[in-house]
Amino acid sequence: MIDPKIFETISANMAQFMQSKPDFPGQDVMQQQLKSMLQSSFAKLDLVTRDEFDAQAAVLQRTREKLEQLEAQVAALEAKLNAE
């Protein structure tokens, strides 16, 4: 799920922009509809949170390190086998 703070930030930015313009009727309703539209649009996307991304990046890094270790072990065993 996407961090709700993203929607609040976008909504706040839009509110700040709208406040710089002359007030017009229905401004609050428009802001709410915009926030709802953004939430709906982002919910349809296949996105991950930063925490999920970082967790998977850490798993990948550990996997790479283990692979390098295993490759070194295989190379050492092959060298030992060829030396005999």
Summarised one tens digit per residue, pLDDT across range 14-58 is: 777 766 666 666 767 777 887 788 778 877 888 788 899 999 999
Give the span between the Cα atoms of 26 and 48, in whole angstroms: 34
Tell me, what's the pLDDT at 23?
A: 64
Whole-model pTM?
0.50
Opening angle at CA 25, ends 36 and 7, nearest 5: 20
Residue 21, SS3 per DSSP: coil
More confident residue, 78 or 34: 78
Burial of 64 from C-beta contacts in 10 A (0-12 / 13-18 / 19+): exposed
Structural domain spans, the chain: 1-47, 49-84
